[in-house]
Amino acid sequence: MEENNQTKGNIALGFVLLKDANFDWPRFKHNLKEDWGITFNDEIKDGAVVFQADGMNCACSLLPTPVPNQEAENCAKNNLLWKDGAEEVAKHAAHVMVAVMQHDDPLDQQIMLCKLASSVLKLKNTIGFYKNPTVYERDFFIETAENIKENKPPIPLMVYVGMYLTENAVLNAFTFGMRFYGYEEFEIIGSKAQPQELYGFMLSVAHHVIWDEQPLNEGDTIDLTDEISLSVTKSKAVNFDGDSMKINFKV
C-alpha cells in the first residue's frame, strides 16, 4: 500500500487509462455537457486544457505513454471487485491526467473529479481510472458516478476500502482517502464477518462520516443492530502511518 500522506483539500487527481494515444476532445466536451451541464471554451493546446467548472479550476492532459513503472498495473491488484484488473490495465498505451485544483470544499472537489473522469471514460478507447491506490474498471466507474445525478455521493469512487485475510483467517479492513476530507482513516482488525458484509459496512461508515459530516471519535459507538453496538477507539494504524480510528467489528 502506498504511503497515506493525503491532506484536506489537496489536488484531486487521477488518470484515465487509454488503449491508444487518441483523445476525442469533441466527444469529451459533448459528454460533459450532456451528463453534467459543464461547458468550456478554453483553448486545447498540446493535448491539454485548463478550465473552470462550478468555480473550480480543472485540468485534463493527454500523456501519450503508459503510466510509468507499472504503477497502474500494481494498483489494479488492489481492486477487490475487478478480478482481471491488472491484466486489463497492462494493455493501456496512454493516459489522461484529470485534476481538480485545491478548493474550499473537498467533497465538491472529489465529486467534480468523478464527473470529469466519467465523461472521459465514456470515450470508446478507455480501460479504467487509476486513482491511487487502485484502478476502477471503466463501466463500474461510469455506473457509480451516476449516483451524483440523484444527489448521492459515489462513495466507492471517493474512498478506497482495502481488505485482506490474515494468517489467523480473520479479515482486516481499512480506508484510504478519508484524510482528504479532513477525517481520520478507520480500520477494522480481526473481523470474522463475511467479506461482502464487511466491505459494505466500511462504505456505509465512510458515507455517514463524509456525507453527513459525522466524524468518528474516541468512545463513539455504532449500532450494528438493535442488540449489537460497536465501540470506536483511536490508536496507531496497522495499515499505514499515523493513527486511525478502530471499529470493534469482530462478528
DSSP character string of 140-161: HHHHHHGGGGGT---HHHHSEE
pLDDT reported for residue 5 = 53
- Is residue 203 in a domain? yes
In a domain, 137, yes or no: yes
Spatial distance between the Cα atoms of 222 and 15, rounded to a whole number of angstroms: 35
The reported pLDDT for the residue numbered 107 is 95
- What pLDDT does 225 receive? 76
Mean pLDDT per 10-residue interval, the chain, length 251 residues: 57 97 97 98 96 96 98 97 97 98 91 98 98 98 98 97 95 97 96 95 96 95 82 96 94 70
- Which of 153, 176, 197 is the C-terminal boundary of a domain? 153
**Total domains present in the chain:** 2
Cα–Cα distance, 90 to 70 (Å, whole number)? 8
Same domain, 143 and 172: no
Which cell numbers hold the place of 162?
482495502
Residue 9: its pLDDT value, please? 57
CB-CB neighbours of 55 under 10 Å: 10
Look up the domain containing 64 and give its range. Answer: 12-153
Same domain flag for 112 and 180: no
Q: Are the beta carbons of 98 and 117 closer than 8 angstroms?
A: yes
Residue 6: its pLDDT value, please? 56
Q: CA 160, CA 234: separation in Å to the nearest integer?
A: 20
User: In this predicted structure, what is the pLDDT of residue 10?
Assistant: 82
Contacts of 144 by beta carbon, 8 Å cutoff, 6+ apart: 154, 156, 157
Closest CA to 199 of 164, 225, 237, 148: 164
Determine, yes or no, domain membership for 241.
yes
User: Does 170 lie in the same domain as 91?
Assistant: no
Query: Is the Cβ–Cβ distance between 119 and 36 less than 8 Å?
Result: yes
Residue 36 lies in a domain: yes
Pairing mode of beta strands 186-191, 221-223: unpaired
Residue 7 lies in a domain: no
73/82 Cα distance (integer angstroms): 12
170 and 144 part of one domain: no
Count of CB atoms within 10 A of residue 107's CB? 17
pTM of the complete model? 0.94
Torsion of CA 42, 46, 48, 50, to 10 degrees: -40
Please report the DSSP string for 41-78 in residue order: ----BTTEEEEEETTEEEEEEEESSPPGGGHHHHHHTT
Which amino acid, 78?
A: N
